[in-house]
A and B are shown apart, each in its own frame.
Chain A
Amino acid sequence: MANNLVEFRNLRTNFYTSGGVVKAVNDVSFAIKEGETLCVVGESGCGKSVTAMSLMRLVSPPGKTEGGQILYNGEDLLTLKERQMRHIRGNEIAMIFQEPMTSLNPVFKIGQQISEPLIIHKGMTKKEAKKRSIELIELVGIPRAAQIFDSYPHELSGGMRQRIMIAIALSCDPKLLIADEPTTALDVTIQAQILDLMRNIKSEFKTAIMLITHDLGVVAEMADHVVVMYAGKVIEEAPVHELFRNPKHPYTQGLLRAKPIINQRQSRLYTIPGQVPNPVSLGNNCYFNDRCEHCMSICVDKQPPLNTYENRHKAACWLYEKGGEA
């Protein structure tokens, strides 16, 4: 059994807006094992990106991480000094973002941007860093690496920029790679290339990957373990085969049924009625109750706990609780 690399314990990140306090991450606990791909799925605003940002300690005001622990190698990242954190960020935990267009600095050459972490974290000289950078560019599947080293970001296509982002993230051999919607802005044929590349990285370097996505197709392809989030909470967690075979939470079931699947055309798509609740005015109940077809009286009164069932399957739903009336 692989060890836990990162463990979130009761993490809470709140945003103080003029409309009220938004509990973007509300008592979230899960773990990422060494060498595993963990996918976090959910719709926009469910807190999946903020969870990743909290891990990197990159949440900026009006947001604030106010509770819980994030254990990395037994150490709580939330208590580290900024200097110690800087040693981990980009070195042991690296991140790639959704927008390859805006996450590279347009006024620096590609080479400089890949070399920077190598010089800072690995203490390489400029020359060593250049050699390693060119290797990295080749590793992520871009031809003419030496030429690309001296190019500027605007000279590259979206797919190539995302590859460069991956090269930067991999430069210091991280233990964990966080990928926040890495293929959302890309075309399907390019998405296939990037997902392929990430799978190769995982098998070659045994890097753990935390993949944030809203696309269940991507989840099915990449994940070992899946966490489903809704309105700031983890509502279901399971190994990937278990989740797709036997989804427990009505929201997960709905998501799976609502997605149009190629070659399985139905005359009518299943829809989850209503919409995601306003994050400011959440009460102490199941946040999905007003959209749920199995809603019971207890769902409106009390919040369901995240309990563990068979096959490492966790769900937060009264349907599976003995305490909940049928």
Chain B
Amino acid sequence: MTEPLLEVNHLKKYFPIQGGIMQRTVGHVRAVDDITFTLNKGEALGLVGESGCGKSTTGRTILRLLEKTEGTVKFKGTDLHELSRKELRAMRPKMQLVFQDPYSSLNPRINVGTAIGEALVDHGLVSKHEIRDRVKEILSICGLAPYHIDRYPHEFSGGQRQRIGIARALIMNPEFIVADEPVSALDVSIQAQIINLLSDLQEQKNLTYLFISHDLSVVEHLCNRIGVMYLGSMVEMAPREELFARPLHPYTKALLSAIPVPDPTRKSERIVLQGDIPSPANPPSGCKFHTRCPFAKEICKQQVPKYEEMASNHFVACHFAGEF
């Protein structure tokens, strides 16, 4: 076994809730609550879950865009949260982020060439006269034309802007990319183009992805391993085929069955979950899913289920995993 590229160990991120006239901390939102996983080089891990389940916070805490509350994040053996600012900055080019909203993540007053080349200049990686060539090269890799270099963001469509966002991440020659809902804001025909681009790039450059999305069908296309999150906790993680063929957690099952399938002849047996997602500031006791779980028993209300390996590489946190 090679050493994993990324090791996340018992990572926690709590946001304080302040209240009262003294603005004292009165509670915590447990956005990420004890998450552990590893990611090998060249792998693509998908994180899925509903809004507010902490998937984006997980991505950001891993990159140390947010400071952790507890736990460790090791990237190639070094703990990112122990590094000094200077050391961290030297590591940054290797880890990049692609954002969800291609409209608000580009500065409208900065032309595309500057926006893409900015980080290279900042890190002093390339000499000034080489920069334009590098930017042009990256533009064509990302499916844009070299003459786009002097244009401004408003001249591009949503799909093209997302390509610019990807180009910005890619120009640093990263090993690890966190993609936070990169296709959620795009139309179906454009979505497919971006998904194909991301998977081509992964092949060409042997990239490692952490792909955050609420859409299981998109994740299925890009990722070889998938983790399902609920209220800040990982409830199940397994290789792609395994997860779709044998989901063990009732939440994963419900999530899979809730996705509308574009085939009117198929009347699927749907598990419709009752109720809403509870507040992460005040999560239910025991198994956090017990308030909506159709199979919940007494023990689920009292004891937190252990996150265990049930089959090879198939982790799940449920008292009755696979029993229904």
Contact = CB atoms under 8 A, between A and B. Distances in A.
Given A189-B273, A255-B188, A262-B216, A240 B50 contact: no
Interface string B183-195: 0000111111101
Per CB-CB distance, the 7 closest pairs between chain A and chain B, nearest first, are A217-B260, A187-B50, A43-B187, A216-B262, A258-B192, A272-B189, A192-B258
A244 interface: yes
A39 to B, nearest CB: 11
B265 interface: yes
Contacts, number: 124
* Interface range, B side: 35 or more
Nearest to B200: A268
Interface stretch (A61-69, A92-100, A173-181, A219-227): A219-227
A43 B188 contact: yes
A215 B260 contact: yes
Nearest to B257: A192
A160 B262 CA distance: 26
B159 A261 contact: no
Contacts of B50: 187-190
Nearest to B256: A262
A254 B272 CA distance: 30
B63 to A, nearest CB: 25
Interface-central residue, A195, A214, A260, by most chain B CB under 10 Å: A260
Interface string A112-132: 000000000000000000000
Contacts of B19: none
* Interface range, A side: 35 or more
B192 A269 contact: yes
A270 B192 CA distance: 7
Contacts of B320: none
Contacts of A191: 258, 260
Contacts of A217: 259-262
Given A187-B214, A188-B255, A260-B195, 4 more contacts: A44-B187, A157-B276, A216-B262, A266-B221
Interface-central residue, B189, B192, B217, B277, by most chain A CB under 10 Å: B189
A173 B261 CA distance: 30
A193 interface: yes
A254 to B, nearest CB: 6
